[in-house]
Amino acid sequence: MKVLAFRIVVLALATSAATFAAAAPPPDAKPVHAQGCVAAGVEASCLVVKDTATGKLYNLILKGARPPIGAGIEFTGQPSTGSTTCQQGTPVQVDNWQRKPSISCKRSSVE
């Protein structure tokens, strides 16, 4: 029984380490700078932004304050590798963001 419990703990730790490693930015990744309207992702607590210049969809990974859904924002961050629970858009570890009142967000920008 103790051996089984030990194996489960080791497996859980290995999985956690792999998840954190997968979320790290690639060594040669270029910073992302984009702006658009914040929308709810298809999964709970996920936020996405469709860049107004390129149309590319970004999955925002945030630490700290989160922009409200429907707000126009500009953000910079580092692209992340691996998958996320959001399963939508390119994952970006957001370094900073700010509201942009000049961006009109009348309806969802994710279609």
Considering the domain boundaries, does residue 104 fall inside one? no
Residue 41 is assigned to a structural domain of this protein: yes
Range in 69-73, 87-91, 95-99 the model is least confident about:
87-91
pLDDT tens-place string over residues 73-86:
999 999 998 778 99
The residue type at 1:
M
pTM of the model: 0.71
User: What local confidence, expressed as pLDDT, does residue 29 receive?
Assistant: 75
Q: Which two tokens stand for residue 51?
A: 């860049």
- Range of 72's domain? 3-99
Whichever domain contains 77, its CATH number is 2.40.50
What are 53's two structure tokens? Answer: 């210049």
Inside any domain, residue 58:
yes
Give the residue ranges of DSSP H helices in the chain: 2-22
At 108, the amino acid letter reads S
Structure confidence by residue, pLDDT tens digits, 8-21? 544 444 434 433 44
Q: Where are the beta strands (DSSP E) in the chain?
A: 32-40, 47-50, 57-61, 72-79, 90-99
Amino acid at 74: E
Return the amino acid letter for 95. D
Answer yes or no: is 19 within a domain. yes
Reported confidence tier of residue 87, pLDDT bands at 50, 70, 90:
confident
What pLDDT was estimated at residue 28? Answer: 64
pLDDT at 22 over 80: no
Give me the amino acid identity at 110: V
**CA 104 to CA 111: how far, in whole Å?**
16
Total domains in the chain come to 1
| Cα–Cα distance, 52 to 83 (Å, whole number) | 24
Whether 108 maps to a domain, the answer reads: no
